[in-house]
């Protein structure tokens, strides 16, 4: 069965500082990995996704993620955080069609940005 772990429940970062969110996955085959962001009371917006190819993936809003198969990780990074980046971030792994392309999410990491 697929699973995703986000070890950090909360992260506080100063505006302008760098940010790294950790994600570890368990999946029996080639993983389909996603990072979504959710602002309070809102739906989820896709930041970036990975299936194959270059292991460093660029996304929207200046985010990037690096896939490391040997560590079963897909960590999200941003070089310089803006106050508007305060939100909940979810890493997810996607399933095959027989499982409805179901997304299994990690527990989420809440990012707080200090001025």
Partner 1 sequence: DTEVTQTPKHLVMGMTNKKSLKCEQHMGHRAMYWYKQKAKKPPELMFVYSYEKLSINESVPSRFSPECPNSSLLNLHLHALQPEDSALYLCASKPSLARTPYNEQFFGPGTRLTVL
Which two structure tokens, joined as six digits, stand for 53?
């190819």
Compare residues 1 and 115 and give the one whose CB is closer to partner 1.
1
Interaction of residue 61 with partner 1, rule CB under 8 A: no
Binds partner 1 by CB under 8 A, chosen from 12, 26, 42, 84: 42
Helix (H) or strand (E) holding 70: none
Interaction of residue 59 with partner 1, rule CB under 8 A: no
Binds partner 1 by CB under 8 A, chosen from 67, 85, 106, 111: 106
Give Cα 32 distance to the centre of its chain: 12
Interaction of residue 77 with partner 1, rule CB under 8 A: no
Which parts of this chain interact with partner 1 (CB under 8 A)? 32, 34, 36, 41-46, 49, 51, 90, 94-97, 99-103, 105-108
């Amino acid at each position: 069965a697929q699973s995703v772990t986000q070890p950090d429940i909360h992260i506080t970062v100063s505006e302008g500082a760098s940010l790294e969110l950790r994600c570890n996955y368990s999946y029996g085959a080639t993983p389909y990995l996603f990072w979504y962001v959710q602002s309070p009371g809102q739906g989820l917006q896709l930041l970036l996704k990975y299936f194959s190819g270059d292991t460093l993936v660029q996304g929207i809003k200046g985010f990037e993620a690096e896939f490391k198969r040997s560590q079963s990780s897909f960590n999200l990074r941003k070089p310089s955080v803006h106050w508007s980046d305060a939100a909940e971030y979810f890493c997810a792994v996607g399933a095959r069609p027989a499982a409805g392309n179901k997304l299994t999410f990690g527990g989420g990491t809440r990012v707080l940005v200090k001025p």
